[in-house]
Amino acid sequence: MTVHTREDLIARWRCCAEGNCGSCPGEMELCDGLEAETIKMLEGDAAELQNKQRHIDSLLLANEGLRNNMGHMMQENQRLKEENERLHRENFWLSGGEERNGTD
């Protein structure tokens, strides 16, 4: 059994759809005897497969962007937490060692 890549299938389906079996990169017997309706269906399948792959690629790219953004947000969160702790210690020191509750 031959395993075909997505690109192979698309190229073969397009050749069949265009009636261009002489330049088909695959086995020409795949197209032999196909009816016009089947050939049109193959063209539609090839286009649908390419559209779905483009959609998957765009989702993967968006996901990577979200991961990068999340990393930056976590770093900023850590920075703000450290700044808050520093300000808390400074406030504690300035108040003479007593915590201030902000209701002076």
**How many structural domains is the chain composed of?**
1
* Residue 101 located in a structural domain: no
User: Computed from CA positions of residues 94, 99, 101, 104, in that sequence, does the dihedral angle turn out positive or negative?
Assistant: negative
Domain of 23, in residue numbers: 6-94
* Residue 43 located in a structural domain: yes
Q: Burial, 104: exposed, middle or buried (Cβ in 10 Å; 0-12, 13-18, 19+)?
A: exposed
* Residue 12 located in a structural domain: yes
* Residue 1 located in a structural domain: no
* Residue 100 located in a structural domain: no
High-pLDDT (> 70) share of the chain, %: 66
Average pLDDT, the chain: 78
Pick the more confident residue, 77 or 36.
77
